[in-house]
Amino acid sequence: MLDKMEQTLREELLLSYQNGNEESYVFSEHSFLLFLEHIKKHKYFYKVNLQTRKSFPLKQGYEKLWDIIEPRCKEVGIFDKEDILYYFINFQAGFTMTLKHWVDTDCKISEKQLAEIIKNCVPNILIKRN
């Protein structure tokens, strides 16, 4: 039942991202804000989901996120797959635990405030420079 609900909510979330330029949009404060608004809207589901989770919530989007992180690492001279994996894991684990704390505290701070915090925690090498 949790899996079915998670799939439905994931589809709803993906619809909210349809208008963004994916390459420049990823890791932006606005992209985090859309995600956090979705989490807050369904916070009771995500509170249960994050408590019982055995893997990261980005698992379903693993390849897509990897396809963004890997080239950005390579742009700054990080080519070893294992090293790149550490950047990937760090982002995923930090993001997951941040979401967990936020829903555990009943989304006490605003989505905008948390989006700014998350954006500031993203490693510089993952931020796309123009």
Task: Give tens-digit pLDDT for 79-130.
Answer: 999 999 999 888 888 888 999 999 999 999 999 999 999 999 988 888 876 5
Structure tokens at 116: 């700014």
Torsion of CA 87, 92, 93, 99, to 10 degrees: 140
Q: The whole model's pTM is what? A: 0.77
DSSP alpha helix (H) spans, the chain: 2-16, 22-25, 29-41, 43-52, 62-75, 81-104, 111-121
Q: State the residue range of the domain holding 65.
A: 2-126
Provide the domain count of the chain. 1
